Structure 1
Amino acid sequence: MRDLLRFLGHRLYTTWSTFWFVMPFVVTYPAQWVLGRRPAWYRHLHTFNRSWSIISIRMWGMPVEVVRKNQLPPGQPCVYVANHSSYIDIPMLFKAIPGFLNIMGKSDLAKVPFWGPLFGRVYITVNRESAMSRGRAIVQARAGLAQGRSIIIFPEGTISKKPGEEMVPFKDGAFQLAISAGVPIVPVSMPLNHRFLPDLDGALRVRYSPLRIVLHDPIPTQHLTMNDVEALKQRAFAIIASEFHPDAAGLPEPSPRPFLRASKSEVTIKAPQQLSSSGANANETLTNGNAGLSLPNS
């Protein structure tokens, strides 16, 4: 009976979360379609995307902690580099980072029905297997920085297979871009997104879990050269990984299957019981919920 209730609870929460992710987009799609017709209106379309992210995350109901350390002066563009562990990474970033942002995403995002073409117009898509596509994306990103538009890049280039535990080695592009444009790098840690929506090869498994995003101190790039890319990359890597917590490493255990008997060879991974906030020394902390966040057992 306990497994049945947990199974039904998972399904109900997945349905609820999916509804509140899809519904705001459906309701505002006509307005977004109109705003996507002219580049001069893209700023307003990004405002819709930020509002959509905030509404969805709020309706999911879990505690969200946003920690902002020494922020940049208003109007200073920068390159945000974040770890990539879940499909909710983009909504979390849009919620936490102000301004008319740019973001670099894989070209497949532009193929998503209805939403994809809008994403492809407002933001930058790249086929990481194509040198021409990568070069075009860097040119677009630098043009945006010159116009004062910060950009978000996932330097791993893909979702990690061991989220919250290990990151894929960073690619050079984001750091070369920041140095060539003379703008700061801002490392961003999202250590818990994979607990809420893990990447399970296309399977939708939403779990109630606290979330946390940390915007670290900006790293200046003025006076750096391309010879400094490796050191800058490793520095950002270490800063982002510093927010990972051992208890939150890896993917959560599967949802209970009350109608299936587990085989003897099945391995169960115990999920963490509690995660303590480590952002007490940040200059600004916005918290929806308690500082001590308990992670679910499933």
Structure 2
Amino acid sequence: MRHLLRYLGQRLYTTWATFWFIVPFVLTFPLQWYFSRRPGGEYVVHRLNRFWSWLSITMWGVPVEVVRESPGPNPQPCVYVANHGSYIDIMLLFKYIPGFLNMMGKASLAKVPVWGPIFGSVYVTVDRSSAVSRGRAMVAARRGLAAGKSIAIFAEGRISPKPGKELLPLLDGAFQMAIEAGVPLVPVGMPLNHMFMPDVEKGLRVRYHRLKIVFHPPIPTAGLTLADIPALKEKVATQLAGDFLPEGAVKPGPSTWRAPVTAAPTAPQRETTNS
């Protein structure tokens, strides 16, 4: 009975969380669509996205621990380098990074019905399997930094198969971009997002779970060269992996109303000897 009630509770909470994810977008969609097609409208669209993120996370009711290791505000512009463990990573970055934040996301996001074209017109999308797409994305990101727009990049390139436990090797792009633009790198750790919404192949799985986001001190890149990228990647990877917590080491399994089956203990076998 306990497992059935827990299963029903998870299903109800998934419905609640989905409702408050969809409703803010529906309410702001007309304005997002309009301003995404106007010069300079990306600032309005981003404010709407920040409102969307704020309302959704607030209505989910989950506690969020925000750790800012640097006492003052981060320099602008900068390159935020974050780990990637869940589809809600973007929402936390939008909510807790003030001002306009450019975002580099995979090209498939621009193909999501209704919302995708807006994302593709306001932020930077990249198909990492295409050298041409990677080059265009780097140019667009550099232009944004030159215009004073900070950018957030998931340097792992995709959601880690074992978020909260293993960090995928970081790609060079974010580090190369920061060095060439001479702007600081800010590592951002989000060790528990996958406990709320894990990436699964089938269906949607949401769990009520506390969240945490850690902003590490900015790392200056002025005077560095591309030869310093390996050391930078190692430093950032160490910081991001250091944010992992024991409670986030195992991704939640699928919901089930059945009690887990435990193997029956086997009786110890007696040793027999021939006499």
TM-score, normalised with respect to structure 1: 0.85
User: CA, structure 1 residues 71+121, in 2 after alignment: closer, same or farther (shift >3 Å)?
Assistant: farther
CA contact (8 A) 1:195 1:251 kept: yes
Equivalent position amino acid for 2:141 in 1: A
Q: 2:149 maps to what in 1?
A: 149
Q: 2:13 maps to what in 1?
A: 13
Instruction: After TM superposition, list the pairs within 5 Å mapping 1:61-80 onto structure 2.
Output: 61-70=61-70, 76-80=76-80
Q: Displacement, 1:253?
A: 3.0
Paired with 1:66 and 1:40, the residues of 2 have a C-alpha distance of 30
Q: 1:199 maps to what in 2?
A: 199
CA contact (8 A) 1:71 1:218 kept: no
Instruction: After TM superposition, list the pairs within 5 Å mapping 1:1-298 onto structure 2.
Output: 1-70=1-70, 76-258=76-258, 262=261
CA contact (8 A) 2:75 2:184 kept: no
CA contact (8 A) 2:110 2:125 kept: yes
Q: Displacement, 1:247?
A: 2.8
Q: Displacement, 1:74?
A: 6.9
Q: Deviations over 1:236-270 (max 9, x none)?
A: 11111111112321202332233x88586xxxxxx
Secondary structure at the aligned position of 2:40 is classed as helix
User: CA, structure 1 residues 126+203, in 2 after alignment: closer, same or farther (shift >3 Å)?
Assistant: same
Secondary structure at the aligned position of 2:155 is classed as coil
CA contact (8 A) 2:102 2:144 kept: yes
Paired with 1:2 and 1:75, the residues of 2 have a C-alpha distance of 51
How many percent of aligned residue pairs carry the same amino acid?
61
Gaps in structure 2 of 5+ consecutive residues: 264-275
Q: 1:279 maps to what in 2?
A: none
Paired with 1:73 and 1:142, the residues of 2 have a C-alpha distance of 22
Paired with 2:74 and 2:237, the residues of 1 have a C-alpha distance of 26
User: CA, structure 1 residues 123+145, in 2 after alignment: closer, same or farther (shift >3 Å)?
Assistant: same
Q: Deviations over 1:39-93 (max 9, x none)?
A: 3111010000011001000000011111122166576200000000000000011
TM-score, normalised with respect to structure 2: 0.92
Paired with 1:76 and 1:66, the residues of 2 have a C-alpha distance of 20
Equivalent position amino acid for 2:247 in 1: D
CA contact (8 A) 2:74 2:218 kept: no
User: CA, structure 1 residues 5+221, in 2 after alignment: closer, same or farther (shift >3 Å)?
Assistant: same
Paired with 1:74 and 1:157, the residues of 2 have a C-alpha distance of 24
CA contact (8 A) 1:72 1:218 kept: no
Gaps in structure 1 of 5+ consecutive residues: 265-298
Which aligned runs of 4 or more in structure 1 are off by greater than 4 angstroms? 71-75, 260-264
Question: Considering only aligned residues, what root-mean-square deviation do their CA atoms show, in Å?
Answer: 1.5
CA contact (8 A) 1:81 1:185 kept: yes
Aligned pairs, how many?
Answer: 263
Of 146-155 and 196-205, the range deviating more from structure 2? 196-205
Q: Displacement, 1:129?
A: 0.2
Q: Displacement, 1:143?
A: 0.3
